[in-house]
Amino acid sequence: MVRPSKSSSLPADPFPARIEPCLALLASEPPNGSDWAFEVKWDGYRLALHKEGDTIRILTRNGHDWTHRFPSIVKALAQLAAATAVIDGEAVVLDDQGRSDFNALQASLGGRGGKKVAGSQVVFYAFDLLYCDGRDLTGMALDERRHLLEHLIASRRDGIRLSEEVEADGPAFLAAACKLGLEGIIAKRRDRPYRSGRKGDWLKIKCVASETFLVVGYEPSTKVRGAIANLLLAARRGAELVYVGSVGTGFTFDQAVELKRSLDRLATTIPPVSLKRRSVVFVNPDLAAEIEFRAWTGDGKLRHPSFKGLRDSAERGEIFTLDERASDGRRSS
């Protein structure tokens, strides 16, 4: 691993308390060429693993400490050879076909806002190494960081696994991923350092669009007492919230009842978005929902949306933002 030479007088780089994650920009088509590396897009919780001697921390994308919730990952991290390390990756639960299942991950943690400790079925897929054995690696090119990560993770299967790089051209890999029922793929520039934020060095290309939106209200069911018929959704545009449509499919009867109970506690007489519609109950935008959809309509609404689940408050940084765009017109999340 990357260890300071015993004969070197260079001091170790400061161990980071936290590193803001590099975020993938949403693209409609995959890039191609040897300057891009490709991986599967995992559908789970983005985490950073911090190991500093015997001290281990697991941080969410927004910096919340969830160390106590992933004991199997803690155990695996403690066994890695590096004395110090910061590893970027995603915690997932796999279905019987080897695909990441966000709902199963949520259930393992007790649902949105749950406090359960995840079982051994949760696996951390490591895809970047940011610090190792006294050295800050963020200035290195991805290919160099990747080489060190592969050496560190090797063939470990108990709690921490390597997110494999796939040797393929972008369009062919996306087609194969979609055929297998995966969420999509990630493309990364091989020669770039690790840059926090959404700089375009990483791209995400999805088989079916799936984004996180704020719940700003609901329409009560006229058929089932005590349940919702539709959730009203909003995205961010600067400091404002913009209504992007409603979703009425994807939740079970029990979820429809529980959602109404949760939302009734958040009811407000002040609409969070500009919308005039009868029978709507507006709520404070404290809940975030993961929504699958096919496309955007011409007037900026979701086409054929379906409810996947509620995001934990620790992941509110995932809220879809309308005014973030790539320079070539690609929409980002």
Q: What is the C-alpha to C-alpha distance for residues 67 and 289, in angstroms, rounded to an integer?
A: 24
3-state SS assignment for residue 222: coil
Contact call for residues 153 and 161 (beta carbons, < 8 A)? yes
3-state SS assignment for residue 147: helix
Quick one: tokens of 293?
């959809």
Active-site annotation holds for 41: yes
Beta bridge partners of residue 100, listed in sequence order = 94
Contact call for residues 80 and 160 (beta carbons, < 8 A)? yes
Indicate the helix (H) or strand (E) that contains 257: helix 253-264
CB-based contacts of 329: which residues, under 8 Å, 6+ apart? none
Q: What is the C-alpha to C-alpha distance for residues 231 and 280, in angstroms, rounded to an integer?
A: 10
User: Of the residues 41, 51, 204, 206, which is catalytic?
Assistant: 41
How do beta strands 228-237 and 240-247 pair? antiparallel
- Listed in order, strand segments (DSSP E) in the chain are 25-26, 36-40, 45-52, 55-60, 84-93, 122-132, 135-136, 160-162, 184-189, 202-206, 209-220, 228-237, 240-247, 281-293, 295-296, 302-303, 306-311
CB-based contacts of 154: which residues, under 8 Å, 6+ apart? 162
Q: Cα 13 to the chain's mean position, in Å?
A: 28
DSSP string, 319-331: B-BTT-B-TTS-B
* Residues belonging to the active site: 41
